[in-house]
Structure 1
Amino acid sequence: MKRISEFITRLLVVWVVLAGIAGYLYPPVLTCMKGHIEWLFAFTMLGIGAVLTPKDFEPVAKKPHLVLMGTIAQFAIMPALGFVIAKLLRLPPDLALGVILVGAVPGAMASNVISYLARADVAYSIALTSMSTLLAPLLTPSLTYLFGRTYVDIHFWPMFLSIIKIVIVPLLLGLSLRRFFPDIIERISFVFPLMSTIAIALICGLVVALNRDYLAQVSALIFVAVVLHNALGLLLGYGAGKAYRFDVKRCLTLAFEVGMQNAGLGAVLALKHFSARAALPNALFATWCIITAAVLAELWGRRVRADETG
């Protein structure tokens, strides 16, 4: 069972694409899940909390200034980029808000795996992702309001409460389960990445299903926006690391943290508080950022291995 879970998890992009195809060809298969999507995402956060250990938070305690610097870079670069891209491409209001929401959510948990594959600073990656996730209830609604209020009405408190309910509470519950039932959690830990993979695939497929008739009109525009957002995020994240005088491994880690966003959360928030169209950029970004980061991780990992054997 563990090997099956690992196999499915490694093919996340494949499952997301297949779910998207299913959502486009057979919308009712996935649209029936719309009312349960928050609970589905909450289970993924519970699983993430259950696999975290006190050791994962050591970098925050030992070098809090480095974590603060990385967190500032992430929440400064991505929302501003989303706003600028939306303006430059003259996106319709719903899509513009969706791109801004991509930038306002915390870092993707998948960035930790990517940092490992790239032989970057995994401990720093986990610390940054954890910090941005814990700050999300305050910063995600605030930044969405700051950059998105010219497009639609945005209400801070409903978004704040949603993030508390589907992110923070499950995360803390997962940490508690790990603390009080470590042996049981260790035995079933392989299930949690599988849960996350299934949840993200279903969320992205649902977004496609809800936007089936609209996709043909805006697919190229959304793709350009997502590619720009991701590429510039990776580039500016690396540049921020250089400006901070980080070493190469830490610069690469920061690039992944900035360029990869928890767009699954963005899609859930868009469906809950805005519109299905606003969720579209999030669904595409969730897939695209993993593809680009995985390619970069493989290229960098090969370089590191060559240097080590060299």
Structure 2
Amino acid sequence: METVEKIAKFITRFFPVWVILFAVIAFFYPALFSGYGSWITYLLGLIMLGMGLTMTLNDFKLVLTRPKDVLCGVVFRYLIMPLVAFGVGKLLGLPPLLAAGLILVGCCPSGTASNVMTFIAKGDTALSVTVSSINTVLAPILTPYIFLLLAGTLIPIKAEALLVDILKIVILPVALGIIIRTVASDFVDKVTKVIPLVSVVSIIAIISIVVALSAAKLATVAVIAFIAVILHNALGLGIGYGASRAVGMNHKKGKAISFEIGMENSGLAVALAIAHLDPIAAIPGAIFSVWHNFSGSLLAGYWAAKEDKD
């Protein structure tokens, strides 16, 4: 098990490097990955199962003890990022499918990486975990219908089909993970350190498949898509922090909400785009998967260092 843990640390530590490496391989040799498009849903389900294995019922307790903080986090999450994505798409004049893909990223719940970044930044980790958990539970209802409202004028959307897929891809695996953790906690404790490895490998595989599927068109949209993702992410982090402070949250809570807003479950956006839209619409989610970990790490490191000085 120690060897596996060392491998897990090595791979997760250099996550961006592996993503770039495999994305480049997938771009130049798409045939290696393009035949595995149907795997994306299962890979994301595996990631969500891992998320469920790390969750407990205690993750929801802040709903009762700090309802205002949690409510603000949830409302900001499903208000700010979808609207920012819509605005960025209009500002940059993105093609309809690319704009829809960016909006879809914004409509998805926050990802587990937000909890890690909040912890590193010495923010309110308990608030981050609770908001992530509630956002995930609400995703089947809020994600498809907010997406329909904002992107429905750009492309045809079947919100009910998105709802069903989110239930299958997100809620069922997460619920299964929580059940397994509840009935077999000793086993889960033994494999906890390996879970990040499974998640990272799955994300790398998903991104590689998306790049391979859209390789022919990627060269024409990569630059504008990258600019759109950077703007979307930066505005989300900044507005999320500003909004939290505006409603009276302290700096520690603000850091948590910033990451909850600016960091997405972009893997879900990729899976939904592939299943219901087009590989081009999955490009923003694939780029976001890499970029938000990079930007989030920089911001978390800055806040942590500033905290140490203060």
TM-score range, shorter-chain basis? over 0.9
Partners of 2:255 and 2:120 in 1: CA distance: 12
Q: Indicate the residue corresponding to 1:68 in structure 2.
A: 71
- 1:57 matched to 2:67? The reply is no
- 1:87 matched to 2:97? The reply is no
- 1:111 matched to 2:114? The reply is yes
**Cα deviations by residue, 1:97-129 (Å, 9 ceiling, x for unpaired):** 011101100001101111111111111111111
Partners of 1:61 and 1:193 in 2: CA distance: 30
Partners of 2:107 and 2:98 in 1: CA distance: 14
- 1:235 matched to 2:238? The reply is yes
Contact 2:60 2:134 in 1 (8 A): no
Partners of 2:235 and 2:297 in 1: CA distance: 16
- 1:102 matched to 2:83? The reply is no
| More displaced 10-residue stretch of structure 1: 2-11 or 278-287 | 2-11
What SS does the aligned partner of 2:33 have? Answer: helix
Partners of 1:47 and 1:127 in 2: CA distance: 17
**Structure 1 residue 168: deviation in Å?**
0.2
Unaligned ranges ≥5, structure 2: none
Partners of 1:170 and 1:152 in 2: CA distance: 29
**Structure 1 residue 222: deviation in Å?**
0.7
The count of residues paired between Structure 1 and Structure 2 equals 307
Q: Indicate the residue corresponding to 1:2 in structure 2.
A: 5
Runs of 4+ displaced beyond 4 Å:
none
Q: Indicate the residue corresponding to 1:283 in structure 2.
A: 286
Partners of 2:230 and 2:39 in 1: CA distance: 30
Report % sequence identity.
Answer: 39
Unaligned ranges ≥5, structure 1: none
- 1:26 matched to 2:29? The reply is yes
**Structure 1 residue 271: deviation in Å?**
0.1
After superposition, residues 118-267 of structure 1 pair within 5 angstroms as 118-267=121-270
Q: TM-score, normalised by structure 1?
A: 0.97
Question: Structure 1: which amino acid aligns with 2:255?
Answer: L
Q: TM-score, normalised by structure 2?
A: 0.97
| More displaced 10-residue stretch of structure 1: 1-10 or 122-131 | 1-10
Partners of 2:161 and 2:108 in 1: CA distance: 15
Q: Indicate the residue corresponding to 2:300 in structure 1.
A: 297
> How has the CA–CA distance of structure 1 residues 9 and 60 changed in structure 2, closer, same or farther, with 3 Å as cutoff?
farther
**Structure 1 residue 6: deviation in Å?**
2.3
Question: Structure 1: which amino acid aligns with 2:189?
Answer: E
Q: Indicate the residue corresponding to 1:35 in structure 2.
A: 38
Q: Alpha carbon RMSD of aligned pairs, Å? A: 1.1
**Structure 1 residue 2: deviation in Å?**
1.5
